[in-house]
Amino acid sequence: MSARPCNTPPCPCGSGQSLAACCGRYHGGEQWPDTAVALMRSRYSAYVLGDEAYLLASWHPDTRPAALNLADELPVKWLGLSVLDQQAGQPGDSHGTVSFVARYKVNGRALRLAETSRFVREAGRWCYLEGDVTA
């Protein structure tokens, strides 16, 4: 894990890197994640930052909603991300799964989202396809 300069915000995905050196480069379109885990982490960061455009752009067109309207939802304070497992999803793969837990608060109540997400690579880019929420 590399140290980040003290004047840059940390990446919400928990990598320990600055946002610009980590998920921010994907959000800004400088690069596209080369693994399913990197895409999942960048999507978590996009939720934290309210970046609907990136979330929609990284969603597979067959399952992508027309809009997200995150601003219309109850205020969410994202607390952290833990990647539990991954299957495939490497640069040479066409499919991959990532299991994770995202912790958050809504109206002061601590909650967690546990999901196994499925990703596919289309035209050389990883896309979020769908996920199964677990207890």
pLDDT in tens, 13-71: 999 999 999 999 999 999 999 999 999 999 999 999 999 999 999 999 999 999 998 98
Q: How confident is the model at residue 4 (pLDDT cuts 50, 70, 90)?
A: very low
Every domain of the chain and the residues it spans = 24-134
> What is d(CA 106, CA 115) in angstroms, rounded to the nearest whole number?
18
> What is d(CA 37, CA 104) in angstroms, rounded to the nearest whole number?
20
pTM of the predicted structure, to 2 decimals: 0.92
Give me the architecture of the 24-134 domain, per CATH. Answer: Roll (3.10)
Beta bridge partner(s), residue 112: 103
